[in-house]
Chains A and B, each alone.
Chain A
């Protein structure tokens, strides 16, 4: 081959080489300063190419003709200027005209350009792998925390449920015996005795209401509430609830009005739970409306097709804008509840919302402090007539 062409190929492909004798002493070089220079001639290949230290056995296998080639890819080498070179090294037997192996041909190809790209790619790949592994670990930790939280929540629900059950039985007895005394079945009562017994009965009823609410909450959370859905006349149910609460309305000199159009279709609902929903809303309206105020219950077709809407409006204290987003949370007590000293555990609206949603309806409200509140619930219309 034309030596000029050979030289051009070496330069273009950034190839350098060294030829050694059988003692690995360099006898000829061709290359750039970064790899080989003329000062390499006469020195051991192992001194010129530190990467070959430790490969003496391999090199002697090549010299002995047992190994045709030995390659080291992507050898990193730092230049005195701090630049990283990437080199591919190949060792081959160097033969004379008779074919005898008289030394080694050590060929070095500068692949810095490709190496730099490969390094960047690998770097990005590894960084992504690290992130992926980190995310997987965090995910596992979150999952474990979640399982633990669920376990604790379950334990809490069981505890609340058991405690509420245990409280309910003696409370029912207390309430029953107080009622017997108040009915004067065991003899007449004086005024003070009656007053104290009525206070005891009111307290027992409040506690019963709270234990019932706690039991409802645990059932809701455990998904254990079952509805017996039947077509019902909503107006009749609401009238029954209004009648039940009439003594309280009268005691607070409030006015309760019911608007129910006669042609309202039947709804599909669980009777007990519907009474509970309307009762909760009416009870709240009574509690938060000052004496002499008014409460209006209106029934109508809802704006969304297939639903009937109940609206319970009062002229009470209203709900502050700060409290409004938290109103349906468990155990949340609005500032107005504290102001008006209304009793309760902050579970009523949580239970009401859950029951409404179980029916497939929805609940919302409009309120302005000192201008009253209106709570709306919807129930699905039954396909068949009651």
Chain B
């Protein structure tokens, strides 16, 4: 019998970086180009099977897609309570969204000090508008010693891999 576990995973990052689209791609394998702002929090769930040395774990990720705009800074701390993991998202076409990740990490670790997280540079399909190089992301994540992924919620590139990777981190490091 597989071991069943639930973990809370928050998606953090500035508005319009593609957090909702990443969740939608991961959970429903769908994408919609239309930008719809999230206010507050939207919770989805997805179960992934993570093999380990002795067991197979059915990990249900409770995905908390949090509003990215400044208006929700006040309530973000209450959303972050009990977070086991997080996906920090920036948009490769907007350099300021990479710079903004630091404050989200501070918020996350301030509330859940042992949370596992990964960094995601999304929208890599927009090659012509790309303003962030992989080296830029690498330079920023270096200080936290966490992996980063270059994703496209539109094409699905690297989306499954990033969540599965986070799932393994939650089980084996969390």
Q: Are B40 and A53 in contact (CB under 8 A)?
A: no
With A76-B41, A122-B71 already in contact, the answer to whether A71 and B6 are too (CB < 8 A) is no
**B39 partner, pick from A54, A57, A77, A86, beta carbons under 8 A:** A86
Q: Are A75 and B82 in contact (CB under 8 A)?
A: no
**B84 partner, pick from A54, A58, A129, beta carbons under 8 A:** A54
Interface centre among A54, A115, A122 (most CB of B within 10 A): A54
Q: Are A125 and B78 in contact (CB under 8 A)?
A: no
Q: Are A53 and B8 in contact (CB under 8 A)?
A: yes
Q: Are A51 and B41 in contact (CB under 8 A)?
A: yes
How far is B35's CA from A133's CA once the two chains are assembled, in angstroms? 16
How far is B75's CA from A56's CA once the two chains are assembled, in angstroms? 19
Chain A proximity mask over B1-45: 1 for CB below 8 Å, otherwise 0 = 000001110000001100000000000000000011111111101
B92 vs chain A, min Cβ distance (A): 13
How far is B67's CA from A76's CA once the two chains are assembled, in angstroms? 11
How would you classify the secondary structure of chain A's contact residues: helix, strand, loop or mixed? helix
Interfacial chain A residues near B82, Cβ < 8 Å: 54-58
Interfacial chain A residues near B42, Cβ < 8 Å: 76
Is residue B69 contacting chain A, with contact meaning CB distance below 8 A?
A: yes
Interfacial chain B residues near A53, Cβ < 8 Å: 6, 8, 62
How far is B91's CA from A137's CA once the two chains are assembled, in angstroms? 15
Chain B proximity mask over A69-104: 1 for CB below 8 Å, otherwise 0 = 011111111000000001000000000000000000
**B43 partner, pick from A51, A56, A127, beta carbons under 8 A:** A51
Is residue A123 contacting chain B, with contact meaning CB distance below 8 A?
A: yes
Is residue B79 contacting chain A, with contact meaning CB distance below 8 A?
A: yes
**B62 partner, pick from A54, A71, A122, beta carbons under 8 A:** A54
Q: Are A50 and B40 in contact (CB under 8 A)?
A: no
Interfacial chain A residues near B64, Cβ < 8 Å: 54
Interfacial chain A residues near B81, Cβ < 8 Å: 54-55, 57-58, 70
Interfacial chain A residues near B131, Cβ < 8 Å: 137
How far is B40's CA from A86's CA once the two chains are assembled, in angstroms? 8
How far is B15's CA from A118's CA once the two chains are assembled, in angstroms? 15
- Residues of chain B in range 75-92 having any CB-CB distance to chain A below 8 Å: 75, 78-79, 81-84
With A58-B81, A129-B15 already in contact, the answer to whether A75 and B40 are too (CB < 8 A) is yes
Is residue B46 contacting chain A, with contact meaning CB distance below 8 A?
A: no
Closest to A133 in B: B94
Is residue A119 contacting chain B, with contact meaning CB distance below 8 A?
A: yes
B45 vs chain A, min Cβ distance (A): 6
Chain A proximity mask over B36-61: 1 for CB below 8 Å, otherwise 0 = 11111111010000000000000000
A172 vs chain B, min Cβ distance (A): 54
How far is B77's CA from A55's CA once the two chains are assembled, in angstroms? 12
How far is B16's CA from A1's CA once the two chains are assembled, in angstroms? 47
Interfacial chain A residues near B78, Cβ < 8 Å: 70-73
Q: Are B43 and A50 in contact (CB under 8 A)?
A: yes
Is residue B96 contacting chain A, with contact meaning CB distance below 8 A?
A: yes
Is residue A130 contacting chain B, with contact meaning CB distance below 8 A?
A: yes
How far is B10's CA from A72's CA once the two chains are assembled, in angstroms? 14
Chain A proximity mask over B131-162: 1 for CB below 8 Å, otherwise 0 = 10000000000000000000000000000000
Is residue A250 contacting chain B, with contact meaning CB distance below 8 A?
A: no
Chain B proximity mask over A48-72: 1 for CB below 8 Å, otherwise 0 = 0011011111100000000000111
Interfacial chain B residues near A57, Cβ < 8 Å: 81-82
Interfacial chain B residues near A137, Cβ < 8 Å: 131
Interfacial chain B residues near A51, Cβ < 8 Å: 41, 43
Is residue A126 contacting chain B, with contact meaning CB distance below 8 A?
A: yes
Interface centre among B37, B39, B78, B96 (most CB of A within 10 A): B39
B14 vs chain A, min Cβ distance (A): 9
How far is B71's CA from A77's CA once the two chains are assembled, in angstroms? 20
Interfacial chain A residues near B6, Cβ < 8 Å: 53-54
Interface centre among B8, B40, B94 (most CB of A within 10 A): B40
- Residues of chain A in range 166-210 having any CB-CB distance to chain B below 8 Å: none
**A50 partner, pick from B36, B62, B83, beta carbons under 8 A:** B62
A368 vs chain B, min Cβ distance (A): 51
**Chain B interface (Cβ < 8 Å from any Cβ of A):** 6-8, 15-16, 35-43, 45, 62, 64, 67, 69, 71-72, 75, 78-79, 81-84, 94, 96, 131
Q: List 5 A-B contacts (CB under 8 A).
A: A54-B83, A56-B82, A74-B72, A77-B43, A123-B35
**Chain A interface (Cβ < 8 Å from any Cβ of B):** 50-51, 53-58, 70-77, 86, 115, 118-119, 122-123, 125-127, 129-130, 133, 137
Q: Pick the 10 closest A-B CB pairs, nearest first.
A: A74-B40, A54-B8, A54-B82, A76-B42, A123-B37, A53-B62, A126-B15, A55-B82, A122-B37, A51-B43
